[in-house]
Amino acid sequence: MMNGFVGSGLIACAMLAATAYGQNNGGTTPEAAPQTNSSQAESAPSVGLKDAFAGKFLIGTASDLRGYSDAELANIKANYNVITPENCMKPQPTQPSEDTFNWTTPDALVKWCQDNNIKVWGHTLCWHAQTPNWFFQPGADGQPVTRELAMARLKNHILTEVGRYKGRVIGWDVVNEAINDGGAGETENLRNSSWNRLIGPDFLTLAFKWAHEADPEAQLYYNDYNIDQGSVENKGKHASSMLLLKRLLKEGAPINGVGIQGHWHLDTSIPDVEKAIADYESLGLKVSISELDVTVTGGNSGAFPGGGGGGPVSAEAFQQQAQVYAKLFDIFNRHSKTISRVTFWGISDRRSWRSGQRPLVFDARLQPKPALQAILDVGLGKNVTK
């Protein structure tokens, strides 16, 4: 299933671009093909996304690589040089019950990536979601879980997982989404997660230290969504993220960078994105755009908004989406000394967690959307937007 494709990236690229991206696919489901309109056909890209940004930053996608067709695997090989496992390295699947680990899917993913010269980015070690309840429940003696027991469980999880993939995973989203939504930015505004309640706010620094202990060469990042929001005015979630990161650095957390998830939409503030990158750079940190997608319907960019959309999308909306992507990649290009990686959250609108909102650069049939060419043009210096 995972090894059926043999061929070069350029051949794969040509295979991907056979049909037109029509002017309107209104009324179709996300899985249906767009109407063909040969007069407006997207021309076949001759270069993969990763090649257009070679020497600047890695270009990634998210997938667990299960049940993918040969065409999908070919698309990955043609366009991306790093993969983030979309779900299979999270605490729920890797340690569903205490000391029972499950590595089947992540092992297969890491092997396929090694065989195909694709790097792996680990996601994620410490999170409030997709984490089994046993971490926070009484131990064998039936006593309420203490700070010490919660620490021991988190440490064991991190040492085991990071240790297993030492030297084969280039870096980790060590802590995911620790900051709450909706704050003014005057405090760190940490989420009232079980980790925070049981261990206290130093759970982040501890997690980074354990990850570093297990693999001193791995890049270690803090990852969150909407942490670009409010940066121009130095308020809101961005301001909270700056307070948190300054504290982690002061506490000696071995942190190398920040993942701005980048679950964006047509109205996302582009100046906020640029200022956020510059702010993190000023702390001496690297930045990744770790879960990039730009939805064309439904403005909510928070986590788990519940799909949404799925109705008609006009050709104009896809052109707007292409413009937003072009503006974003223009920023990434200009900050390429700071940006280490830009990872799309999925390979196609069919595979996206927000498939109804058509957020990616290949459509449900794996055909290029206007956004793909717009991004390639920026990478190849053909169309620099401001």
The residues binding ligand XIL (CB under 6 A) are 86-87, 176, 261, 291, 303, 353
Least distance (Å) between residue 345 CB and ligand XIL? 6
Strands (E), the chain: 58-62, 82-84, 119-126, 171-176, 219-224, 257-260, 263-265, 286-295, 339-344
Nearer to ligand XIL, 182 or 381 (CB): 182
For residues 87 and 319, which CB has a smaller minimum distance to ligand XIL in the complex?
A: 87
Return the sign of the alpha-carbon dihedral for residues 57, 385, 376, 372.
positive
Q: Is 377 a catalytic residue?
A: no
Minimum distance, C-beta of residue 174 to ligand XIL, in the bound complex (Å) = 12
Which residue in 224, 272, 330, 349 is the catalytic one? 224
Residue nearest to ligand XIL (CB): 353
Of 284, 369, 273, which is closest to residue 319 (Cα–Cα)? 369
Say which of 51, 72, 279, 291 is annotated catalytic.
291
Give min distance, CB of 130 to ligand XIL, in A. Answer: 6
Catalytic: which of 86, 177, 279, 349?
177
Three-class DSSP labels, 223-255:
EECCCCCCCCCCCHHHHHHHHHHHHHHHCCCCC
DSSP per position, 99-137? TB---HHHHHHHHHHHHTT-EEEEEEEE-SSS--GGGGS
Question: Token pair for residue 189?
Answer: 């505004």
Asked if 224 is an active-site residue, the reply is yes
Length of the chain: 386
For the record, the structure tokens of 285 come out as 């940190």
Handedness of CA 310, 311, 314, 317 (dihedral sign): negative
* Contact of 366 with 16, CB cutoff 8 Å: yes
φ and ψ of 27, to 5 deg: 85, -10
C-beta of 290: minimal distance to ligand XIL in Å? Answer: 8
Give catalytic status of residue 51 as yes or no.
no
> Quick check: 252 and 205 in contact, CB under 8 A?
yes
Q: Which of residues 261 and 367 has its CB atom nearest to ligand XIL in the complex?
A: 261
Buried b (16+ CB within 10 A) or exposed e, 354-381: bbbbbbbbbbbebbbbbbbbbbbbbbee
Residues 6 or more apart whose Cβ sits within 8 Å of residue 237: 179, 181, 183, 185, 189, 224, 226, 227, 229, 230
Q: How far apart (Å, rounded) are the C-alpha atoms in residues 198 and 145?
A: 8
Q: Which residues are catalytic?
A: 177, 224, 291
